[in-house]
Amino acid sequence: MSKLSRRDVIVSAGMATAFGLSSRLAIDMSPAYAQAAAQAALEPTVGFKKYKVGDIEVTAVYDGIWKKPHDPGFIKNASVEETKAALTAAGQTTEFMPIPLTVYVLNIGGKFYMIDSGSGVGQWQPNAVNLPGNMEKAGIDFKKISTILISHFHPDHISGLMEKGTNNPVFPNAEIIVQDVEYNWWTEPGRVEKLPEARKGLGTRINAVFPNWKNFKLVKDGTEVAPGVRLINAPGHTPGHAAFHLSSGAKQLMLSNDVMYVPALLAPHPEWQGAYDQDGALAIETRRNLVNRVIAEKMMICGAHFPFPGFGSFAKDGNGYIFTPETA
């Protein structure tokens, strides 16, 4: 009889979950299948999922998916063939690079806090238009969002703050909280001229809009940005990229945003550098530190680009990790 590795056990658990079996039963199964086959579905049939973390209700809201054509520059130190192999091992399509977008809403004591703002009803990707409708189906009123916690200033995370064409605020009465490092870097005088050509449009829009708004609140690493929620400095993807650590009672959740943006690739290969990581080496260091903490403290984690609904857990596997999605 062949000896099962930890990877085989967790893979079997993921496959069993896909077939409706319990994780406890899955651990006793011997066949090893494609990793986390529950991730295979690209488009959810229901566009929201509610979880409880202690007394806090967390709702994952599906915005859409970027069916990104394969690009040899997407991962700087891996080939397209290698990225396709990683997708296959994770039970995902290789026709394109699947990059879903999920926004998380926290209900804390009856107040609603949103993590990032989505892609702005197609402003980022034409088919990422589902956020308003899915929030309504989830029973969340846009107008009742009191606070928006911004992880970083990439377009798929901030376009939903601005109306298309006019740049008028979508949430004029909400407080917008962002780490000071991120805000100050993007709005520094002369920043637009220093940006790569592909980022100049984004930088121009940020500088034309955000400095004129009065509802931004700049905070530092470790600040409690909502009851039970602290901003965690997680740089590398951008200079001031932030994660958010949620704690309620004995339960914890790490809202990792873009630290481990495509688990199918970066869990088994945390050393891979994404083209959108501004400082690749720092992003790798941040990735390992954050995921190691999540494992050590046995907490759940979610991410903006994890397979919907985006919740799961990590386990160590040699020099890499295994991501197991949570579907319960």
Q: What residue ranges of the chain have pLDDT lower than 50?
A: 1-40, 328
Question: In the 8-state DSSP scheme, what is residue 95?
Answer: S
The reported pTM is 0.88
For 277-321, the pLDDT digits (tens) are 999 999 999 999 999 999 999 999 999 999 999 999 999 999 999
Residues 6+ apart with CB under 8 A from 295: 314, 315, 316, 321
* Residue-wise DSSP of 134-188: HHHHTT--GGGEEEEE-----HHHHGGGB-TTT--BS-TTSEEEEEHHHHHHHHS
Q: What is the pLDDT of residue 41?
A: 57
**CA 276, 277, 282 angle in degrees (round to 5)?**
175
97 contact partners, CB below 8 Å, separation of at least 6: 66, 67, 68, 69, 70, 71, 74, 83, 87, 262
Tell me phi and psi for residue 105, to 5 degrees.
-120, 130
HSE-CB for 115 with a 13 A CA cutoff: 32
With beta carbons less than 8 A apart as the criterion, state whether 263 and 90 touch: yes
Q: What does the pLDDT read at residue 124?
A: 87
Question: 102 φ, ψ to 5°?
Answer: -125, 135
DSSP conformation letters of 203-261: HHHHHHHGGG-S-EEEE-TT-EEETTEEEEE--SSSTT-EEEEEEETTEEEEE-TTTT-
How is residue 319 written in tokens?
């020099």
Q: Which residues contact 197 (CB under 8 A, 6 or more apart)?
A: none
Query: Do residues 68 and 75 lie in contact, with contact meaning Cβ atoms separated by under 8 Å?
Result: no
Amino acid residing at 25:
L
Are 90 and 36 in contact, with CB atoms under 8 Å apart? yes
Q: What is the CATH number of domain 48-325?
A: 3.60.15.10
Among candidate residues 215, 203, 219, 210, the one with its CA nearest the CA of residue 151? 219
Q: 309: cis peptide before it, omega within 30°?
A: yes
φ/ψ of residue 293, rounded to 5? -65, -45
